[in-house]
Amino acid sequence: MDGLFSGSYPIVLTHGDLSEMNMLVDPDSGALTGVVDWAEASLLPFGFSLYALDSVLGDMYLTGWTYHENAD
């Protein structure tokens, strides 16, 4: 863990619970319009809070992981 705070990663504001449940999306364009529930926000090394990124980019089915059409 000490390596994470060594200075090689920039310290950034992290949400702490960034998932589809906390994102506001325009129903017509699909554009992200806001992020709510900042109760767990903190300053951490970049990348420390990216664990939920895949849950926004796709879904897990019985046949395996599938990315959304516009994930990139």
Q: How many helices (H) and strands (E) does the chain have?
A: 1, 6
Distance, in Å, from the CA atom of 49 to the CA atom of 13, rounded to the nearest integer, reads 10
* Other Cβ atoms within 10 Å of 12 Cβ, number: 13
Query: What length is written for the chain?
Result: 72
Least confident of 26-30, 31-35, 53-57, 63-67: 53-57
* Other Cβ atoms within 10 Å of 54 Cβ, number: 13
- What pLDDT, on the 0 to 100 scale, is given for residue 34? 98
Q: Which H/E stretch holds residue 51? A: none
Give 18-43 pLDDT, tens digit per residue: 888 899 999 999 999 999 999 999 99
* Other Cβ atoms within 10 Å of 30 Cβ, number: 9
